[in-house]
């Protein structure tokens, strides 16, 4: 199941998640350029586990290294992305994205007492469950059991998943006070909101002529402040982020469509096929035509 983003960088969870509010993803990195997923957000919790490779999981401005067997719990509405650093093959990286309503309704005392404190805590954007930590031994077992239950769809799997998620959230709640916190300043929170607005503009308008001024105006800030936001979170300029997204989109179109190179070039906001080809080769080390032959 591919990761799909809307214009607000919000991950598009399958429509039937309302019936059972949890989605499962696996093998996403294999289809992503450089085995790196785009920065995005969603109003759900997320749990992911490194299987065979070493991964860089970015949450906000923090980069956390996950070794094989490590898992990460990401709080809702936080910008995050993933990049594989090493490993012979793309990591399978099982991921569950879920609403806490899988455990209890939002207006229930269970939700308000045990879940609301977690999702409302700006200083707890994520929790890492290290594979060699005795504290999280049971959590790892519940995570693995959840992946297996969703994959197999065995009898009563929804009840097993609900039970496991409840246990995981209970473990986070019980250890809440001792978990490492990273208190975000007002400046950092504002920077993240501004970045979300600017990235949203890029994702919506990448196929049009977009200038640095256009991107900065999306967040009502100066061009220099826009540059600082992108450097702080993504390590690149706003225009570089625009080009990267255009090239990622071109990769997908080359793989999934029969559009000509000229059609793909224009569809991705490049108004010169030669410039598109040069940028593509510079980014990936091979031409768009060679990429199409590889698919």
Residue range 15-178, CATH number: 2.60.120.280
Question: How does pLDDT run across 53-65, given as a tens digit for each residue?
Answer: 999 999 988 999 9
Per-residue confidence band for 186, with pLDDT thresholds at 50, 70 and 90: confident
Report, as an integer, the average pLDDT of 206-223: 96
The predicted structure's pLDDT at residue 286 = 87
Report, as an integer, the average pLDDT of 151-169: 95
Which of 2-6, 62-66, 148-152 bottoms out in mean pLDDT, i.e. has the lowest?
2-6
Q: Is the pLDDT of residue 218 over 60?
A: yes
Assess contact for 102 and 110: CB atoms under 8 A.
no
* 13 vs 146: CA distance, rounded Å: 18
Query: What is the b/e burial string over 221-243, where b = at least 16 CB atoms within 10 angstroms of the residue's CB?
Result: beeeebbebbeebbeebbbebbb
| Among 76, 39, 77, residue whose Cα is nearest residue 57 | 39
For CATH 2.60.120.280, the residue range(s) in the chain are 15-178
Report, as an integer, the average pLDDT of 259-274: 94
Which one has a higher pLDDT value, 294 or 289? 289
Cα–Cα–Cα angle for 57, 269, 233, rounded to 5 degrees: 25
> Which residues share a beta bridge with 96?
24, 47
Report DSSP letters for 85-139, one per residue. EE-SS-----EEEE-GGGTS-TTSHHIIIIIHHHHT-TT-SEEEE-TT-GGGHHH
Q: Which CATH number is 186-294's, of 2.60.40.10, 3.40.50.300, 2.60.40.420, 1.10.10.60?
A: 1.10.10.60
Report, as an integer, the average pLDDT of 130-151: 96
Question: How does pLDDT run across 222-259, given as a tens digit for each residue?
Answer: 999 999 999 988 889 999 999 999 998 998 899 889 99
Task: Give Cβ neighbours of residue 39 (< 8 Å, ≥ 6 apart).
Answer: 9, 58, 79, 80, 81, 199, 233, 234
Q: Is the pLDDT of residue 1 over 50?
A: no
Which one has a higher pLDDT value, 115 or 28? 115
Average pLDDT, the chain: 89
Structure-token pair, residue 291 = 């990429």
For CATH 1.10.10.60, the residue range(s) in the chain are 186-294
> Which residues share a beta bridge with 84?
55
Ramachandran class of 32: left when φ > 0, alpha when ψ lies in -120 to 50, beta otherwise = beta
The predicted structure's pLDDT at residue 6 = 40
Question: How does pLDDT run across 71-89, given as a tens digit for each residue?
Answer: 999 999 888 999 999 988 9
* 48 vs 132: CA distance, rounded Å: 16
Residue 153, helix vs strand vs coil: coil
Assess contact for 203 and 9: CB atoms under 8 A.
yes
């Amino acid at each position: 199941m591919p990761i799909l983003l809307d214009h607000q960088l919000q991950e598009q969870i399958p429509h039937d998640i309302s019936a059972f509010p949890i989605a499962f993803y696996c093998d996403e990195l294999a289809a992503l350029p450089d085995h790196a997923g785009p920065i995005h957000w969603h109003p759900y919790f997320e749990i992911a586990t490194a299987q065979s490779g070493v991964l860089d999981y970015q949450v906000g401005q923090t980069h956390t290294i996950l070794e094989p067997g490590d898992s990460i719990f990401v709080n809702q509405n936080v910008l995050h992305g993933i990049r594989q650093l090493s490993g012979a093959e793309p990591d399978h990286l099982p991921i569950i994205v879920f609403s806490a309503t899988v455990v209890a309704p939002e207006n229930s005392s269970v939700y308000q007492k045990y879940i609301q404190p977690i999702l409302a805590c700006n200083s707890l954007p994520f929790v890492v469950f290290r594979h060699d930590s005795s504290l999280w031994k049971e959590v790892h077992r519940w995570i693995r059991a959840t992946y297996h239950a969703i994959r197999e769809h065995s009898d009563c799997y929804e009840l097993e998943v609900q039970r496991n998620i409840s246990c995981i959230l209970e473990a986070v709640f019980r250890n809440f006070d001792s978990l490492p916190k990273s208190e975000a300043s007002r400046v950092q929170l504002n920077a993240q909101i501004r970045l979300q607005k600017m990235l949203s503009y890029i994702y919506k308008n990448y196929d049009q002529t977009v200038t640095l001024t256009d991107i900065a105006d999306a967040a009502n800030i100066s061009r220099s402040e826009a540059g600082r936001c992108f450097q702080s979170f993504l390590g690149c300029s706003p225009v570089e982020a625009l080009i990267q997204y255009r090239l990622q989109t071109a990769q997908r179109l080359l793989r999934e469509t029969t559009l000509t190179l000229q059609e793909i070039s224009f569809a991705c906001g490049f108004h010169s096929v030669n410039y598109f080809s040069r940028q593509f080769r510079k980014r990936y080390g091979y031409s768009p035509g060679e990429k199409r032959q590889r698919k």
